[in-house]
Amino acid sequence: MADANLAVPRPVGRPAAHPGPRRWPALLRDPKLMFGGGFILFLVLLAIFAPVVAPHDPLEQDLMAATLPPWGFAEADPAHLLGTDDLGRDVLSRLIFGTRVALTVAAVAALVAATAGTLLGLLAGYFGGWVDAAVSRLVEIWMAFPAVLLSILIVAVLGSGLTSVIVAIAVIDWTRFARVIRADTMAQAQADYVTAARTLGFGRWTILFREILPNVMPGLIALLALEMGIAVVVEAILSFVGLSVSSDTPTWGGMIASGRQIIYQAWWVFAAPLAAVFLTVLAFNQVGDGLRRLLDPVLRR
């Protein structure tokens, strides 16, 4: 019995990050998670099936049908549910195809930034010393530059295009992940399960990636969802100033830019993409909050 009491407990990093099966139904009834996840799933389906779902070619122009109001207003055309812009292009079709650019940038840029920032944050938080000092100074220097201006500068240097936008967002926003993961790693490194892992003879890299990483995943996932929303906003800003994809490709930021010029004649051209950006960012935030509560064992108590 004494030997059992003195036995070193098994490291319990990974299992704690997952809820029991009985908690899933209650969590899936969370209105925030359902709204955010449902809306993002809806956007993903729109992006995948855009050629099928869109009622018109997003690049097709019809000057005779320019600035038609949305359905329900006087002089509206039922064939254009959200109206047309100043060149007679269907607003709904352009909005649907713009979803492809927004979600591509959000997913790829956020994942690249998360990978780089998480790796540096883990190393800085666990090893400390000169590694922590070097990463911390690099983060401080990087964050001294205004994010939007730096992204515009990077895209201007690399040239416009989807790849340049993704690189610009990833290069800027890795610092956010590095800071959060560094702090979480430092806290986890002092936990009992890490001490137990060291006692059992686990190597430093095994402890870092097998035990600590799963326990910082809840915060990482929440931050990743938030970063996707931020990436949508940054891409819209770059599109607004003409530094994203080519002008022939529909983007929400490009639609906002063109709608701003005719806002008094055709407010719907400006309002539709603006609402899409707002709802998408809100949905990503709700998903991040819901997933954190789903995965964080402290919040599930």
CATH number for the domain spanning 131: value is 1.10.3720.10
**pLDDT of the residue at 18:** 47
Q: What percent of the chain has pLDDT over 90?
A: 41
CA distances (Å), 69 to each of 85, 97, 269, in order? Answer: 9, 20, 9
| pLDDT (tens digit per residue) in 27-76 | 566 777 888 889 999 999 999 999 999 999 999 998 888 888 999 888 88
In a domain, 243, yes or no: yes
Cα gap 84→56, rounded to integer Å: 11
**pLDDT of the residue at 31:** 78
In a domain, 20, yes or no: no
**pLDDT of the residue at 44:** 95
Q: Which of 6-10, 183-187, 251-255 has the lowest mean pLDDT?
A: 6-10
Band of residue 16 on the pLDDT scale cut at 50, 70, 90: very low
In a domain, 23, yes or no: no
> Is it the case that residue 23 has pLDDT exceeding 80?
no
In a domain, 98, yes or no: yes
> Is it the case that residue 193 has pLDDT exceeding 50?
yes
Q: Which of 26-35, 162-171, 208-217, 271-280 has the lowest mean pLDDT?
A: 26-35
- Number of domains present in the structure of the chain: 1
In a domain, 191, yes or no: yes
Cα gap 207→204, rounded to integer Å: 5
With the C-alpha atoms ordered 140, 285, 44, 34, is the resulting torsion angle positive or negative?
positive
In a domain, 16, yes or no: no
In a domain, 22, yes or no: no
**pLDDT of the residue at 218:** 82
In a domain, 62, yes or no: yes
What is the DSSP annotation of 202-219? --HHHIIIIIIHHHHHHH
Of 34 and 246, the structure prediction assigns the larger pLDDT to: 34
Which residue range(s) make up the domain with 261?
31-295
